[in-house]
Amino acid sequence: MTSKISFYIKLIRSDIRHRGWLSALSCTVLFLLMPVYTMLYLSTYTERTSDLILYFPRLLNGGPMGYLQATIAVLAVLSALTGFSYIHSREKTDFFHSLPVKRTAWFGTTWLSGLLIVLIPYLICSILTITVGAVSKGMTAALIGRCAEAVLGGILAFFVLYNASVFALMLTGRTVTALLASLAVIVYPFLALTLVSALENTFYNTFYSDGLHLSDKLAGYLSPVGLFSALISQSNAGTLSFAVLAAAVLMSVLLIAASVLVYRIYPSETAGTSIVFPIIAPILKVLICIPSALFVSLIIQDLMMLSDNKWLPLLSLLAAVIICAVIDFIYTMDLKLLVKSWKSSLLSVMGVLAVLCFFQFDLIGYDTYIPDEKDVESISFCPDSFRNYFSYPESEHGLVPSSGYFAPEDMTDTLYALALSGIDNLEKGLTPKNVYDTDDNTEVCFSALFRYRLSNGRTVNRQYALTYSDAAGALKELMESQEYRKQIFPIFEIDEESVSSISLSDIYKKSEELKLDKEQRLSLLDAYKTDVLTVDADTFTDSRSLGELEISFPNPVLKEHGSVTEDGMVTYDTAGFSYYGDGSSFVPQLYLYPEYENTLALLEEYGYTPRTEIDPEDVSSITLYPAGNAAEDGRRDDLISRLSDTAVINYDEFSSEMDITVTAQEDIELILSSMDCYAGGILDDGSVHPDYMEVQFKSGNMAGYSLKI
């Protein structure tokens, strides 16, 4: 007598033999992409052996150009489709279900054989790949642990997509439909969740996301494709989190349970139909159509670079109609029956319209919302100019902060009033999206980010368009606080003892390293800090700088989190930024104002006085680039008429742009007299100089400047 275990093992073996072609395909492709590619890769690997731990685990689930990652996904879908394809044939379904074997047993043996067909070759190829690495470059305990984590991530990533595809198969009666359903189950949650932030960004003028939007975070945990991506990337980077592991296991358990339940009631007579449960067909159609139509319209709008949303409703409705027709055709495979399910199509179109109206008319008051002042603990204020004015040293989190610092609590009232002025500007039609495109403003405006830290621990992000006068007044009040100055100025984040060099750049914009000993460097930095803390607040908004200092210092974060090459250089990647150098950080743009008496006095004592004017004798040529409308409004006619005949003027009638190159000494002196001084205000003060000029020095150096109006 054959035991149940032996019987089920025979069923599994039979199913694996029946799908021998998939086993052969899995073995061949994985063997080529894992151990074979690894041998080729390591044979040309020129980095230090100690760096292998950073790159080798990627060969176990990511592979060259992500090919292995894509292969794992394709094999997961193929394994599910080939294993349960028999339920799409009425004859096969009747035969299998007529045998004295419970449906749950049929499901379990088929499901398990699908796993083994791919995972056994994957594990064998992983072991071979690790062996190749050990033979070629050696293997450490740390690297073995990272490799095991990468293999675990690959297995779980396969597991998630496999179970999602199996669940999709249980809802369909055709293999082609099952393939489309698998794509829908895998991608749909991710698409629907990320669509929320995409629509908010499109319709809401004050929307700002720092990468922590709730719907985007949920998409990484509640969608198979999001979990698949997170499992692959985190495991090969050695950062696999418990939250992702738990979400992968929980989602797989839910998908398996749902698949078993559906399979137990799977009606054999519906094999060969698109949807085995007709009652859910219109529901699925509506659920798929609404986010898909909106997503497609947003993609089209982005590809066509349309700046406004006036075409979005038409594109969305057109996409909804087409998607409904495609889904109906998949259901019926008959063009004559497309109008039969007009009710669900109408509901889909109305759903798209409802979503568009919800965001277009801001029914929840997102743009005008501001937290109650009594609930606000602190506010962070960061105008666009901060990102150009401040340059912070690299850290393990990347180049930060890009969204400003929270002001002291006693400054909350000031920033709250400034935020209210931003909402007033919004109601007048001035938004962060059009603030730089509007030409008829009597005041100069710019965009600024506000972050409200609430008493319940939540942070609310908004961006507003502000006038210079309002922002300058509020910023001057903020700058009265030394605590706030210490927060936002990068000089206070630098360890003075670690500074290796200081360079000076003046109006010539050529950096020169100051020949100072350590004591002199410390004195200069102390003087700079003193000036930053003691000068009047008006200095930062109204004064124009004479030049800037640049500080260099060894950054241990780079060496700790980066990799050291054989030539002693450091490579470091984080938050989208790449670094390659000797492990030193450079902090430029430490501006020098005329009011910085202590710093300027020390520089003069050390023999380095910033130059405030350009000597015409040092210039070989100047090229002017007036703004596009300069020729039309005649703004530069007076200056051009005063140039000598040697000036070369090039004018493009099609674009209304021109450039003027001068080499004569008198022309150079004339233009230099109209040159704007060295920039460096903490706010763009509205003295907008749209005309640009390039100065070519006889020394070979070239620098760009603005031209006064």
pLDDT in tens, 63-115: 767 899 999 999 999 999 998 888 877 777 766 666 666 778 888 888 999 99
Residue % of the chain over a pLDDT of 70: 86
Contact partners, residue 448, CB within 8 Å, separation at least 6: 381, 382, 383, 384, 422, 463, 464, 465, 466, 471
Amino acid in the structure at residue 183: L
216-236 average pLDDT score: 91
Write down the pLDDT at residue 336: 73
Write down the pLDDT at residue 396: 39
Amino acid in the structure at residue 592: L
pLDDT(297) > 70: yes
Phi-psi domain of 538 (left: phi exceeds 0; alpha: psi -120 through 50; beta: other): alpha
Tens digit of each residue's pLDDT (9 = 90 or more) over 124-134? 999 999 998 88
8 Å CB contact between 200 and 193: no
Tens digit of each residue's pLDDT (9 = 90 or more) over 54-75? 678 889 998 767 899 999 999 9
Question: Which residue has better confidence, 689 or 296?
Answer: 296
pLDDT(630) > 60: no
Which CB contacts under 8 angstroms, 24+ apart, belong to 607-614?
Answer: 608/504, 608/512, 608/514, 610/504, 610/506, 610/507, 610/546, 610/547, 611/506, 611/507, 611/508, 612/506, 612/507, 612/546, 612/677, 612/678, 613/507, 613/672, 614/507, 614/508, 614/672, 614/675, 614/695
Binned at pLDDT 50, 70 and 90, residue 226 comes out as: very high
How many CB atoms sit inside 10 A of residue 179's CB?
Answer: 18
8 Å CB contact between 583 and 559: yes
pLDDT(250) > 50: yes
**Mean pLDDT in the chain?**
84
374-399 average pLDDT score: 77
Tens digit of each residue's pLDDT (9 = 90 or more) over 395-422? 433 344 556 778 888 889 999 999 999 9
Amino acid in the structure at residue 106: W
Write down the pLDDT at residue 400: 42
Structure tokens at 141: 């305990």
pLDDT(48) > 60: no
* CA distances for 64 relative to 41, 69, 539, 576, angstroms: 9, 9, 54, 20
331-341 average pLDDT score: 76
298-320 average pLDDT score: 88
Identify whether 57 is preceded by a cis peptide bond (ω within 30 of 0). Answer: no
6-12 average pLDDT score: 72
Q: Which residues of 695-708 are buried (b: 16+ CB within 10 A; e: fewer)?
A: bbbeeeeeeebbbe
Write down the pLDDT at residue 362: 92
Write down the pLDDT at residue 55: 79
Binned at pLDDT 50, 70 and 90, residue 289 comes out as: very high
Structure tokens at 473: 């007044």
664-691 average pLDDT score: 77
Amino acid in the structure at residue 671: I
Which range (162-166, 249-253, 440-444) has the least confidence?
440-444
Which range (260-264, 390-394, 566-570) has the least confidence?
566-570
SS3 state at 419: helix
How far apart are alpha carbons 648 and 100 in whole angstroms? 95
User: What is the secondary structure of 161-177 as a DSSP string?
Assistant: HHHHHHHHHHTBSSHHH
pLDDT(337) > 80: no
24-42 average pLDDT score: 91
Write down the pLDDT at residue 690: 65
Looking at residue 408, the DSSP 8-state letter turns out to be P
Q: Alpha-carbon torsion 468, 473, 477, 480, what sign? A: positive
Write down the pLDDT at residue 603: 95
231-260 average pLDDT score: 92
Write down the pLDDT at residue 685: 47
Structure tokens at 245: 């592991």
Binned at pLDDT 50, 70 and 90, residue 329 comes out as: confident
Tens digit of each residue's pLDDT (9 = 90 or more) over 150-190? 999 999 999 999 999 999 998 887 888 888 889 999 999 99
Write down the pLDDT at residue 577: 47
Write down the pLDDT at residue 347: 94
